[in-house]
Amino acid sequence: MFKLSKKVEYALISISHIKSSNTDKPISVRQISDKYNIPNELLAKILQTLSKVQILDSIKGPKGGYRLKSSLKDLSFVEFIEILEGPFGIADCMVDTDCSQLLNCNIINPMDKINSKIYKVFSDIKLKQLT
């Protein structure tokens, strides 16, 4: 409960790794998955996602891999999470999902306040700070 997903962690690890590698040569999925002990195919998908949303540049073919997108604007952590996991919310009624308690719910107001607080924490954190 209340855990960051591995997807998010793997993505952060990768971005951080690519950033700190200080090279123009693309970094392959294999290099990262080997070093950090991440399932290769899974990581591949995640980096594909990051490439689709303009966080990474992908280079195909041998010696290919990923580079940080130079034009990358600084995303907030919550935006980053939503790219990988969909809409953010600490309870079902705060995202799309419906909830059997919604009709009579007597805690939705406080829940909503908590949600805002957590959302704010994650908005104030920027991707660049994390990597």
Partner DNA sequence: ATATATACGAGTTTTTTTATCGCATTTAAA
Partner DNA sequence: TTTAAATGCGATAAAAAAACTCGTATATAT
Residues within window 87-106 making contact with a copy of itself, judged by CB under 8 A: 88-92, 100-101, 103-106
Closest CB to DNA among 19 and 30?
30
Q: Which among a copy of itself, ligand SF4, DNA, none contacts residue 79 (Cβ within 5 to 8 A by kind)?
A: none
* Contacts of 97 by beta carbon, 8 Å cutoff, 6+ apart: none
Give me the residues that bind ligand SF4 (CB under 6 A), please.
9, 91-93, 99, 101-102, 105, 107-108, 111
Is 40 one of the binding residues for DNA (CB under 7 A)? yes
Is the C-alpha dihedral spanning 119, 120, 124, 129 positive or negative?
negative
Diameter of the chain by CA atoms? 59
* End-to-end CA separation in angstroms for the chain: 25
Stretch of residues binding DNA (CB under 7 A), selected from 16-24, 25-33, 103-111, 116-124: 25-33
In angstroms and rounded to an integer, the radius of gyration of the C-alpha atoms of the chain is 18
> Is the distance from CB of 125 to CB of 77 less than 8 angstroms?
yes
- 52 contributes a contact to DNA by CB under 7 A: yes
> Rounded to 5 degrees, what are φ and ψ at 59?
-120, 120
Considering the rule CB under 8 A, would residue 85 count as an interface residue with a copy of itself? yes
CB of 67 to DNA, least distance (A): 10
**Count of residues interacting with DNA (CB under 7 A):** 31
